[in-house]
């Protein structure tokens, strides 16, 4: 391991001051499941790291103004046990259940997953279909960026070097809405996604699709939405024929690559299968809430 300096701020203002003074030479360190691997593989040289684990402001899950707000340092393991996530973030919980291994889940954070910005980041498709926003803070203030815009390319986001990702927020899911997340890997556990997908649909009182969101992972340079497929569902009954069409349109949206984990053609076909499967399940699940 190369040597590095480690700063350990105790509060968010202290951390933002450190970043303001030293960025871009200072890199935030959350669970380290990307950073430490990159360091060992010599993919990145870090001059200074700043440990985020003591910042209480980045922890916890709460309801606020019709939204769920998730601290960026929430671990993937915590997503599996938090009652608010179980109630208002079921898709994120599904992604957490198939994320890496229990050991990695205990360290890996949601914020780290988003800022690392892998096209295969498993928390991204659920957050995209949940219409989430990320909250970024610096000494200059706080800004919110929709998930749709936050990831811009492979390991690239709109985060500025002096900013910390503080939280992720999304509107509480509407009544008569349902969705799901699914991923295909090379094994059943502890694997990166070869393809992943999340869907969220909402029905109106007549049972027609009022809104639909479809997000796909590992099939472009960043996790993406399948807008064309979403549009054809709106105003329609969620029946097999239209669901099949949404699957096909989703497959046409993606720009996958061939790599050691799968061919572009396989990925395109699996997008169609996953989207069709998730939409069919969601369509059957929607029941009015209390
Ligand atoms: C064996 C193994 C299996 C894995 N399996 C999966 C998997 O199944 N699915 C998946 O999606 N990923 C997987 N990963 C990747 C990794 O675990 C995740 O991306 C994880 O969520 C990263 O979180 P972290 O807290 O460890 O981030 P770190 O490694 O600490 O940081 C990652 C990046 O985010 C930045 N960062 C972290 N927190 C903040 C913040 N609050 N504000 C600003 N910048 C920040 C860091 O500077 C760094 O650039 C796996 C990794 C390993 C080693």
- How far is Cα 115 from Cα 127, in angstroms, rounded to an integer? 13
Given the CA of residue 163, which atom of ligand 1 is nearest to it?
43
The CATH number of whichever domain residue 100 belongs to comes to: 3.30.465.10
Residue nearest to atom 52 of ligand 1 (CA): 33
Same domain, 19 and 122: no
**For ligand 1, is residue 78 a contact (CB within 6 Å)?**
no
The CATH number of whichever domain residue 202 belongs to comes to: 3.30.390.50
CA of 187 to the centre of ligand 1 (A): 20
Same domain, 63 and 46: no
Residue 1 banded pLDDT, cuts 50, 70, 90: confident
The pLDDT score that the predictor gives to residue 289 is 47
Same domain, 104 and 164: yes
- How far is Cα 121 from Cα 112, in angstroms, rounded to an integer? 10
What residue numbers bound the domain in which 208 lies? 177-285
Same domain, 74 and 36: no
Secondary structure E strands in the chain: 5-7, 26-29, 48-51, 61-64, 67-71, 133-138, 141-146, 151-153, 156-157, 164-171, 177-184, 195-203, 209-217, 224-225
Residue nearest to atom 12 of ligand 1 (CA): 121
**For ligand 1, is residue 39 a contact (CB within 6 Å)?**
no
Among the candidates 171, 205, 228, a domain finishes at: 171
Q: Could you read off the pLDDT of 179-230 as tens digits, one per residue?
A: 999 999 988 777 889 999 999 999 999 999 999 999 999 999 999 999 999 9
Q: Could you read off the pLDDT of 9-66 as tens digits, one per residue?
A: 999 999 999 999 999 999 999 999 999 999 999 999 899 999 999 999 999 999 999 9
Where is 176: in which H helix or E strand?
none
Residue nearest to atom 51 of ligand 1 (CA): 33
Instruction: Classify 143 as helix, strand or coil.
Output: strand
Same domain, 203 and 244: yes
**For ligand 1, is residue 112 a contact (CB within 6 Å)?**
yes
CA of 145 to the centre of ligand 1 (A): 19
DSSP string, 198-238: EEEEEE-TTSBEEEEEEEEESSSSS-EE-HHHHHHHTTSB-
**For ligand 1, is residue 50 a contact (CB within 6 Å)?**
no
Same domain, 244 and 222: yes
Residue 150 lies in a domain: yes
Q: Could you read off the pLDDT of 20-31 as tens digits, one per residue?
A: 999 999 999 999
Given the CA of residue 73, which atom of ligand 1 is nearest to it?
41
- How far is Cα 105 from Cα 108, in angstroms, rounded to an integer? 5
CA of 55 to the centre of ligand 1 (A): 17
Residue 287 banded pLDDT, cuts 50, 70, 90: low
Query: Strand 209-217 and strand 195-203: pairing?
Result: antiparallel
The CATH number of whichever domain residue 32 belongs to comes to: 3.30.43.10
Residue 290 lies in a domain: no
Residue 97 lies in a domain: yes
DSSP string, 96-135: HHTSS-HHHHHH-BHHHHHHHT-TT-TTHHHHHHTT-EEE
**For ligand 1, is residue 115 a contact (CB within 6 Å)?**
yes
CA of 33 to the centre of ligand 1 (A): 5
**Under 8 Å CB-to-CB from 160, ≥6 apart: which residues?**
23, 136, 138
Domain count, the chain: 3
Residue 271 lies in a domain: yes
Among the candidates 133, 156, 171, a domain finishes at: 171
**φ and ψ at residue 223, rounded to 5 degrees:** -60, 135
Closest by CA to 133, choosing from 171, 164, 85, 159, is 171
CA of 220 to the centre of ligand 1 (A): 19
**For ligand 1, is residue 111 a contact (CB within 6 Å)?**
yes
Same domain, 277 and 186: yes
Instruction: Classify 8 as helix, strand or coil.
Output: coil
Same domain, 161 and 244: no
Q: Are 105 and 80 within 8 A, CB to CB?
A: yes
Residue 290 banded pLDDT, cuts 50, 70, 90: very low
Same domain, 160 and 247: no
Q: Are 38 and 44 within 8 A, CB to CB?
A: yes
Among the candidates 171, 198, 218, a domain finishes at: 171
Same domain, 141 and 244: no
Among 38, 55, 75, 116, which residue has the most ligand 1 atoms within 8 Å of its CB, making it the best to mutate? 116
Assigned token pair, 127? 């957050």
**For ligand 1, is residue 107 a contact (CB within 6 Å)?**
yes
């Amino acid at each position: 391991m190369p040597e590095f300096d480690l700063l350990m701020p105790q509060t968010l203002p202290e951390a933002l001051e450190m970043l303001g003074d030293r960025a871009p030479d200072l890199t935030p360190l959350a669970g380290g499941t990307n950073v430490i691997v990159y360091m060992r593989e010599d993919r990145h040289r870090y001059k200074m790291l700043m440990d985020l684990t003591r910042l209480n402001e980045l922890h916890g899950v709460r309801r606020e103004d019709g939204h769920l707000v998730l601290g960026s340092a929430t671990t993937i393991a915590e997503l599996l046990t938090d009652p608010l996530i179980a109630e208002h973030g079921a898709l994120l919980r599904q992604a957490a259940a198939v994320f890496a291994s229990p050991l990695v889940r205990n360290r890996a954070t949601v914020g780290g997953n988003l800022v690392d910005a892998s096209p295969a980041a498993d928390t991204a498709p659920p957050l995209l279909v949940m219409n989430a926003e990320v909250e970024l803070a610096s000494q200059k203030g706080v800004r919110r960026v929709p998930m749709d815009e936050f990831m811009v390319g492979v390991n690239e986001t709109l985060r500025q070097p002096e900013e910390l990702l503080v939280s992720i927020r999304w509107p509480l899911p509407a009544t008569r809405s349902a969705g799901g997340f699914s991923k295909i890997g090379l094994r059943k556990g502890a694997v990166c996604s070869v393809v992943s997908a999340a869907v969220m649909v909402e029905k109106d009182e007549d049972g027609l699709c009022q809104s639909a969101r479809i997000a796909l992972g590992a099939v472009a340079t960043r996790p993406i939405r399948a807008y064309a497929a979403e549009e054809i569902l709106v105003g329609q009954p969620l029946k097999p024929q239209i669901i099949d069409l949404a699957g096909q349109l989703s497959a046409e949206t993606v720009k996958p690559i061939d790599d050691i984990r799968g061919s572009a053609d396989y990925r395109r076909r699996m997008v169609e299968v996953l989207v069709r499967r998730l939409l069919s399940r969601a369509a059957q699940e929607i029941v009015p809430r209390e």
